[in-house]
């Protein structure tokens, strides 16, 4: 079985897994990184949204072979010790979470958006495809705008 070496949230890791194993399974089942959630398994709901080499990805459809030598960042890697990322702070201030299941993916998508667009419009925010079953989209929008002011 091939061995893949990459970093997760700044920590080097190596895994012996099939090349086509989805990164989500590697993170959750092999590395015990539980932030990215399983939702659909086909890259539609975006509950697992994480970053690979700084770009937004859906680990449920990203083969681990694409991660070799790169940095994977999950929700666990956003905070700097006790200092939350500005998006995480805004999420708390706006009381975004209801059930909370989709929130790690929502936050990671918001971080990616704010890296691309410093002051996103409503239309920019509407392009985020993450599904929230509880319908907290209004609070998500407010949190993204609040975080943009902090960054």
Distance CA 47, CA 36 (A): 7
With tokens 């990322």, the residue in question is 85
Is the C-alpha dihedral spanning 75, 77, 82, 88 positive or negative? negative
Q: What are phi and psi of 140, to 5 degrees?
A: -60, -45
pLDDT for 1 equals 83
Low-confidence ranges of the chain (pLDDT < 70): none
Under 8 Å between Cβ of 131 and 45: yes
Query: First vs last Cα of the chain: how many Å apart?
Result: 43
pLDDT for 51 equals 98
Classify strands 3-8 and 71-73 as parallel, antiparallel or unpaired.
parallel
Q: What is the pTM of this model?
A: 0.95
Q: How far is CA 62 from CA 20, 22, 30, 68, 115, in A?
A: 8, 5, 15, 12, 21
The closest alpha carbon to 87, from 121, 115, 57, 126, belongs to 115
């Amino acid at each position: 079985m091939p061995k893949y070496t990459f970093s997760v949230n700044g920590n080097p890791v190596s895994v012996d897994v099939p090349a086509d194993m989805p990164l989500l399974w590697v993170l959750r089942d092999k590395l015990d990184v539980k932030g990215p959630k399983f939702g659909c398994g086909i890259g539609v709901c975006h509950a697992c949204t994480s970053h690979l080499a700084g770009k937004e990805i859906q680990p449920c459809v990203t083969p681990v072979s694409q991660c070799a030598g790169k940095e994977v960042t999950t929700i666990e890697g956003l905070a700097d010790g006790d200092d939350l990322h500005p998006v995480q702070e805004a999420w708390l201030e706006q009381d975004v979470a209801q059930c909370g299941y989709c929130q790690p993916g929502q936050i990671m998508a918001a971080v990616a958006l704010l890296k691309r667009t410093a002051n996103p419009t409503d239309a920019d925010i509407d392009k985020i495809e993450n599904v929230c079953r509880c319908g907290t989209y209004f609070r998500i929008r407010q949190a993204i705008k609040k975080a943009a002011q902090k960054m």
